[in-house]
Structures are given as C-alpha cells and as structure tokens.
Amino acid sequence: MIILLSSIVSRSLAQTSITPSSPWGTWLIATVQLPAGEKKWGGFAEVQGRANGVFSQFFYNELKGGVSYDLDKNFTLTVAGGRYATYDYQALSDGPLNTEKRLWEQLIINQYLTRLKFEHRYRVEQRWFTFRDGTTPYRSRIRYRLNMFVPINNHTITAKTAFLSAYDEIFLNPVGPTFERNRLYAGVGYQFDQQWILQLGWVNQTNYNAANFDQGIFTPQLATGKNNLVVGLTYRLKRRNSSEKLPTQPD
C-alpha cells in the first residue's frame, strides 16, 4: 500500500509539473446510502461542494442521487443523475457560470482478496449543459475507476475499522480529446459503526487538451492539474443485510 501511495504522489507531481503551480482546493462530500437489502435494491443521495482554496472561495456544488441493483455480492448496476453548478467565487450572487444536468449508467465489480478489496467501476454519462451566454451543448463521457481498500485493524471493513483507500480514475470523451481527465486519490477512513463513515484524503484532478497541428503550427498536449483536500462523511441507512460493504464514494 505504501508503494502504491508513493507511486500515486509521484505520478501526480509529474502530471502537474507541466502547468503553473496552483493552491490547494477543498472537496466536501456528504452522502446518504441505502445498502441493498434482501430484494437487492439500494440507492444513494449526495451533496458536494468544492472550493478554490482550503475551506475558502467556494465555487461549485453537486446534487445527485440514484438507484442500484445487486446482481450478487460482487456485481452492482446503478442508474443515477444530478445537477452540477459552477460559479465565479468572486461573484456568487451573479448566479452560475454554467449548470449541468447529468444522467449515468454504471457497473461495479468488487473483488475481495483477504485484506485487499478492489472495486472496478465502469460508467457511461450523458451531460446537458446550460451556459450563461445561452448555449446548451451536449456531451457524453466514459469513466473507469480502480479503487483499492485496505482495512488496518480488522480483516473486513465493518464497525470500528480504520482503513486506507486509493484510486485512479480516467475520463474518456468519445468525440475528443479522447483522454479528457485523470483523477488520483489517496486517503484514510474510519467506519464508526454500521451507519457512519468518515474519510479524509487528497485528490489530484488533471484535465487534458489534445495536441493539434493547425496551419503548420504544432500545439502540444496541455494539462491543468490541482490538488485538493477531501473530507467525506457517509451515513448508511440500516438494512437487514449486514455483510461487508466497501466504503466507496459515489462521485
């Protein structure tokens, strides 16, 4: 796990070194989850806020939710949607610069290897934007996330368990540029009981613009990255099914 975290940090620095350094931001995430019960149906609701600085200069929020169905312990289907709004943090009262309505379908595959727990998440998104200038473009996107969990003081992630978490997620645009974004995360968490989970971590999000050759001028690929402090709080509603559930973040 230590080797993986070191690799993640090194990769993040390599990604952001080609761009001007930027200050740390903040992601605050609050989630309510309904784990799948005997009939295998579940769901979630989430609110998220992001800031350009550390707990300051808030400029972005998300409201989203969805329903899920467990094919079995290791395979889960989800359909969800949300509203995303981006503001100028210096002029919040002017309203959003743009809003996005998003619908997505996803498949999660879990692997339980004794202490190591892996989550593979495949997602297809449909995105409708409304910009302040009145334009309303549509975009689609494909995402894949590999998330690893390691419980520290127990063999499973249940009540009174501390754990480590790390993931890498790629964002692909079918229209182009194909490789749109990369998101790296590393953090620690604690599950207090069957309901409450707290996670603290670091995420680096890097956006990419494709290289192009126009009128004899070559423009190399450009990337802009930012490091963020992540604070996530999850509340799980009680269900009869008390089997181990990975403390995944729906974002």
H or E segment to which residue 173 belongs: none
Q: What CATH number belongs to 2-236?
A: 2.40.160
Upstream peptide bond of 96 is cis (omega within 30 degrees of 0)? no
Report the 10 Å Cβ neighbour count for 93: 6
Please tell me the distance from the alpha carbon of residue 184 to that of residue 200, in angstroms, as a whole number: 14
Under 8 Å CB-to-CB from 192, ≥6 apart: which residues? 159, 160, 198
Amino acid symbol at 123: R
- Average the pLDDT over 80-85 and give the result: 98
Residues 198-241 pLDDT 10s: 999 999 999 987 655 555 454 444 668 899 999 999 999 988 76
Give the containing element (helix H, strand E) for 93: none
Query: What integer pLDDT is reported at residue 16 of this predicted model?
Result: 38
How much is the pLDDT for 210?
A: 61
Per-residue pLDDT tens digits for 96-111: 999 999 999 999 999 9
Q: What are residue 21's phi and psi, to 5 degrees?
A: -65, 145
- Could you tell me which of 239, 161, 242 has the C-alpha nearest to residue 198? 161
Calculate the alpha carbon distances from 246 to 18, 53, 184 in Å.
35, 30, 18
Q: Which two tokens stand for residue 50?
A: 């992001």
Name the burial class of residue 47, with classes exposed (0-12), middle (13-18) and buried (19+) by CB atoms within 10 angstroms of its CB. Answer: middle
pLDDT interval class at 176 (50, 70, 90) = confident
What pTM value is reported for the model?
Answer: 0.86
Question: 2 phi and psi, to 5 degrees?
Answer: -65, -40
Domain boundaries, the chain: 2-236
The mean pLDDT value for 77-93 works out to 96
Cα–chain center distance at 126: 16
